[in-house]
Amino acid sequence: MGIFDFLKGEFIDVIHWVDGTHDTMVWRFEREGHEIKYGAKLTVREGQAAVFVHEGQLADVFTPGLYMLETNNMPVMTTLQHWDHAFQSPFKSEVYFVDTTRFSDLKWGTKNPIICRDPEFGPVRLRAFGTYTVRVADPARFLTEIVGTDGEFTMDEISYQVRNIIVQEFSRVVAGSGIPVLDMAANTADLGKLVAAEISGTIAEYGLSIPELYIENISLPPAVEEAMDKRTQMGVLGDLGRYTQFSAAEAMTAAAQTPNSGMGAGMGMGMGLAMAQQMGNQFGNGAAGQPAGPWGARPAPAAAALAAPAAAPQAAPVAPPPPPVEHVWHIAADGQTSGPYSKARMGRMAQDGTLTRESHVWTPGQDGWKRAGDVMELAQLFTILPPPPPPPPAG
């Protein structure tokens, strides 16, 4: 081997690029003076493209493969520069490697709400977010339109612009789709394909393509979602009057169970006084033998209860206790519940046989379901009263 052949082998270039960042889209092969030797080896791996730029003009694009940079495989370059100086480079060129694989798991989302006209709710504000993938479809156009002379171009430098294009097209497609808000969740896949198709024309001008676009969520403002939840609850309950009674009963139960609550203490005191009064009426009236009322309760002997020794000093008037709390009752039968019913309604149900001693009942504040005959307030509804004696003779 002569000295000329040795020097020629030493100066042959090996041009290649291995990316370890997974974020770089374009990388320029750095060579001092940008000198490319005759016969240099160019390795373009799968998922890459190599773009030659000669004296500021795009010369050629190489797809994956191994190339010897000679005149027979560089027809475009040959028209720009004659290769007739052996291993000495007669020109200075730049080689840009372009990553043509997909850049995935990229995020997009609406920064501000999108105002749409919904056929059911009228004007609504929507927010949406999702992910997308992007890849370089035309390396030459991408280099000339976006990269320029940047020696290392990353996805972060173009992702903001791509997101703006996605949001713009998404807003236009959703506003003109006429799909109700409640049905959008079932059509996110079709909406994603439609938005990607609309974006393809704009994004192709940059030499890019969006193979996939996913819509993960479409949401309404929190106040609207809360109102929809209320509407759903009312739909489950059905009757507005029953919903109001149910809410009042739940509020009473929560207040009675809240410790150190003035309202809970007052309600508990009222319930206790009402129960004590009913027990006193039952025991006191039974001993006095007075006639019973319509539900078996006998009026209390007021004179005996209020009698006091003559010599005792007159006591200061005492404020009457708060009126007893009217309970409302629920009935469980055949795996279903009904109610709430007032005590008067429960009495009528006991008379016509709809309510029996074995019926399971519940009222706010009661520990689980109980049989009606075991509840003191309801047990008297089932008392069988003796018939009244015959009337006195006339005259």
pLDDT of res. 316: 64
pLDDT of res. 137: 92
pLDDT at 108 over 50: yes
CATH of 103-224, one of 3.30.479.30, 3.30.230.70, 2.30.110.10, 3.30.420.40: 3.30.479.30
Going by pLDDT thresholds of 50, 70 and 90, the confidence category of residue 7 is very low
Instruction: Give the separation between CA 48 and CA 50, rounded to whole angstroms.
Output: 7
Give 231-272 pLDDT, tens digit per residue: 777 666 666 666 677 777 778 777 777 766 555 555 555 555
- Averaged over 282-301, what is the pLDDT? 48
Class of domain 261-285+325-383: alpha beta
Q: Which two tokens stand for residue 141?
A: 């156009």
pLDDT of res. 130: 92
pLDDT of res. 99: 92
> Closest by alpha carbon to 199, among 189, 191, 209?
209
Instruction: Give the separation between CA 65 and CA 10, rounded to whole angstroms.
Output: 23
Tell me which residue has tokens 């479409």: 218
Give 9-29 pLDDT, tens digit per residue: 444 468 888 887 888 999 988
Our measurement of the distance from residue 307's CA atom to the centroid of its chain's CA atoms, rounded to an integer in Å, reads: 69
pLDDT of res. 208: 92
Give 29-68 pLDDT, tens digit per residue: 876 555 677 677 888 999 999 998 877 788 888 989 988 8
Give 317-335 pLDDT, tens digit per residue: 777 777 666 778 788 888 8
More confident residue, 196 or 312: 196
pLDDT of res. 82: 45
What does pLDDT average to over the chain?
75
Going by pLDDT thresholds of 50, 70 and 90, the confidence category of residue 377 is confident
pLDDT of res. 49: 92
Our measurement of the distance from residue 253's CA atom to the centroid of its chain's CA atoms, rounded to an integer in Å, reads: 31
Domain boundary assignment for the chain: 3-99, 103-224, 261-285+325-383
